Amino acid sequence: MNAPDRSTFDRLIETLEPSTKASRIAAFERFEVAEMPTQKLENWKYVDLDFDLKQVPVAVAAGPPLAAGPFLTSIRDREASVVVIDGTVSSIESAGEATVRRFDELDAAGRSRVTDLISSDHDVFAAARSAFAGDAVVVTAPRGVSVAKPVVIDLQATSATASYPRVCVVAEENAEIGVIVVLRSAPGEPAVMSPQIGLHAESGARIRYVAVQNLAFEATVVVHQKVEIGRDATVRTGEVGLGGKVGRQDLEVALDGQGSSAEVLGVYFGEYDQTLDYRMVIHHKGKNSSSDVFLKGAVEDNAQSVFTGLLKIDKGAERTSAFETNRNLVLSEGAKAHSVPNLEIECDDVVCGHGSSVGPLETEHLYYLRSRGLSAERAERLMIKGFFNEIIDRLPVAGLAEPVRDELFARFIEAQREGRVA
């Protein structure tokens, strides 16, 4: 097995050029001294990681590919298809409007955009990624080009190893592109996946992005995602959280340019003993910027969800508009939802708001539907569908609404039939 020790690391970097090797060595040294996060840390207080990353073998080669599931087969008309297996780019099929490159095909500036996005001292997962990750996929929409079809990226973990895929999406000035990322793992394998996702919208550009996190329940995923938005640019992102024993998204959105705009949508459904954890910082730096964060989720059995969001508005970022909303349904007695929206405002002339709710299906609405002749089961199903549709219908990239709706609804119906919801 490829233990994440010095000998494995030395084999991975032995052919690298000196400057690249030096930065990887520095990252490995940080990894060696970094500690696993525990619930004693404020930003991990609800998450129990029952493994030590330093004991998980590193994936150094691609395993056999997984069979395509409904989220991938639903997107037939594509600009490009990319498969990344165990952190290694396995295949790229591209139609040509957007450029799709692997890490070793990039120039120095392109490589630094990948390697410098998340500091290796961010946490132990970032340190491991900076040390062990050798590959990446970079998707670019050229200046002034509107890429009509989505780029679909399939991130797979096939074994009980740790993998560190890296995805970078660049929309150059006045370009537009849509990207779908599907995260999956082999059933029964306690894989650890820690992707790095970078979205970079230059002046006047538009990025539409959706991630579907559908790892097996035995796996753990910790996503580090950073979004950089330039002047008059727009980024719309959507997150569908379904899988993983622990599924965590660590997201930072930097609205750097004047007139920049961001929309962050999320829908998640936790069951059994899952923990779905969303940590977000929406940082307004430019004037006249706007953001809208809207997440909805449900938990049943003994699952728990966590939302911690910070709207941060810098001094000088006047005429900012920022809103943050998180709604949660708790469907079983043992399930929990934690929702903590925050504001940090350092200037005047802004419009901001935040709100959250945690609770069961509303009894008044159930009573009304029952009074119209619906059974209790059908009334609950109708309310679940209506609750999630508000987000699903707004997902930024077309083609995913039906499979997402079907998966969420099927999970609730199965829990109903097995008596796992109150």
pLDDT, tens digit, 9 for 90 and up, residues 267-320:
999 999 999 999 999 999 999 999 999 999 999 999 999 999 999 999 999 999
Q: CA 241 to CA 109: how far, in whole Å?
A: 33
Q: CA 39 to CA 276: how far, in whole Å?
A: 15
SS3 365: helix
Which tokens sit at 34?
């970094």
Which tokens sit at 236?
């719309």
Q: Is the pLDDT of residue 88 over 80?
A: yes
Closest Cα partner for 220 from 252, 183, 166? 183
Q: Are 96 and 128 in contact (CB under 8 A)?
A: no
In sequence order, what DSSP letters do the residues of 265-314 get, joined into one string? Answer: EEEEEE-TT-EEEEEEEEEE-STT-EEEEEEEEEE-TT-EEEEEEEEEE-
Burial annotation 318-337 (CB, 10 A radius, 16+ → b, else e): bebebbbbbbbbbbbeebbb
SS3 334: coil
Distances (CA, A) of 119 to 88, 115, 202, 409: 21, 8, 22, 39
Mean pLDDT, residues 62-67 taken together: 96
Q: Is the pLDDT of residue 21 over 80?
A: yes
Mean pLDDT, residues 206-226 taken together: 98
Q: Are 53 and 162 in contact (CB under 8 A)?
A: yes
Q: Are 181 and 213 in contact (CB under 8 A)?
A: no
Show the CA angle centred on residue 307, arms to residues 167 and 234, nearest 5°. 45
With both helix axes pointing from N to C terminus, report the angle between 18-33 and 124-132 in degrees, rounded to the nearest 10. Answer: 150
Q: Are 164 and 178 in contact (CB under 8 A)?
A: no
pLDDT of residue 364: 86
Q: CA 346 to CA 88: how far, in whole Å?
A: 43
Q: Is the pLDDT of residue 226 over 70?
A: yes
Q: What percent of the chain has a predicted confidence (pLDDT) above 70?
A: 100
Q: Are 302 and 333 in contact (CB under 8 A)?
A: no
Length of the chain counted residue by residue: 422
Q: What is the pLDDT of residues 246-269, one digit of tens each?
A: 999 999 999 999 999 999 999 999
Q: What is the pLDDT of residues 337-391, one digit of tens each?
A: 999 999 999 998 999 999 999 999 988 888 888 888 889 899 999 999 999 999 9
Q: Is the pLDDT of residue 2 over 90?
A: no
Residue 95 pLDDT grade (very low, low, confident, very high; cuts 50, 70, 90): confident
Q: CA 210 to CA 236: how far, in whole Å?
A: 8
Positions of E strands within 86-195: 88-94, 99-102, 137-141, 151-157, 162-163, 166-171, 176-185, 192-193
pLDDT of residue 1: 62
Domain ranges of the chain: 6-417
